[in-house]
Amino acid sequence: MPTLRCVSTELRNRVIGSCTHYLWLAPALIRLSGPISHTSHTNTASIRLSQRSYRAAILIIHNLITIVELTNRVFVLTSFALKVKRFKMNYPANIRDKLVVALDVPNRAAALGIVEELSDLAGMFKIGSQLFTAEGPSLVRDIVTSGHRVFLDLKFHDIPNTVAAAARSAAGLGVSIFNVHGVGGVEMMRAAADAVSAFAPDRRPRVLAVTVLTSMNSASLSEVGITGGVSSQVIRLASLARAAGLDGAVASPQEISLIRERVAAENFIILTPGVRPAGSESGDQKRIATPGEAIRLGADLIVVGRPIIAAANRREAAQRVLAEMAGGM
């Protein structure tokens, strides 16, 4: 059975084709009318016929142009309606908007394939170091231009001036979120916040501070000279991020409640990686939770990569994640 899009496209093509076919009438009528002479020898009836033919030609051109314009408008409106309908499928927007699918793949083709496949199931797509190093900012622009939100996960960590410049570049790409390492300090984080503040509110990306990677635990922190445990470090860095004017923090599900209690109960985004659907392998993640648990604890956004993109059926995998998320609301 033909879809509405197919019917709309076929209708537009047929109307434009028919209009093009009948456009030959206009120049034919103009040629028929010939030059209008106003000499005394000119037959009055011939002049009137020429004038009528000329006016008829102009009217044909005008009407055909109007038909083509209206047909194109109908096509655009139909396409927009279909897009809206697609985004209303299956799950409420407030659930889908919380799901960030990690494009942890090696190249453009693989990334765009996932975006196309999951465009109605994910609220945002994450581009990290692997994909950005392989394909660069052009891929980010292409995905943003296609109407999708992007989380640029490059974890900027450098001197304040360099991070500020990187922040402006990220904002210029049109990304919705990017992050910096909280251990870069207040001055560095404030530089990132100030750099994007010049952008209009509807174009300004949200800047989040990475607290402690979900692949680390207390033993990992001790190896690099950080004592006091994971929770203490997360709260310290999330507090510094808020003081620096950042919009939120990246933290594992295990620290969500602590951040809500001790840093900010609201107006502070918590983006949560380390999310694994029930029954999934944890891989190299050490501090994890299920999608439902992360949402129930208060995560604003959850990042899911391998359990979706490595699945035999990505759409089914994404739908299972959304179902678990809905259970945590």
Active site residues: 155
Q: Give the side-chain half-sphere CA count within 13 A for 183.
A: 10
Under 8 Å CB-to-CB from 174, ≥6 apart: which residues?
140, 141, 144, 145, 150, 203
Under 8 Å CB-to-CB from 203, ≥6 apart: which residues?
171, 174
- The H-or-E segment that residue 7 falls in is helix 4-22
Amino acid at residue number 142: D
Provide the b/e sequence for 215-228 (b: ≥16 CB within 10 Å).
Answer: ebebeebeeeebee
For 175-198, the DSSP string reads -SEEEEEGGG-HHHHHHHHHHHTT
Distance from C-alpha of 308 to C-alpha of 277, rounded to nearest angstrom: 9
SS3 content of the chain, % helix, strand, coil (to 5): 55, 10, 30
Q: What is the CA radius of gyration of the chain?
A: 29
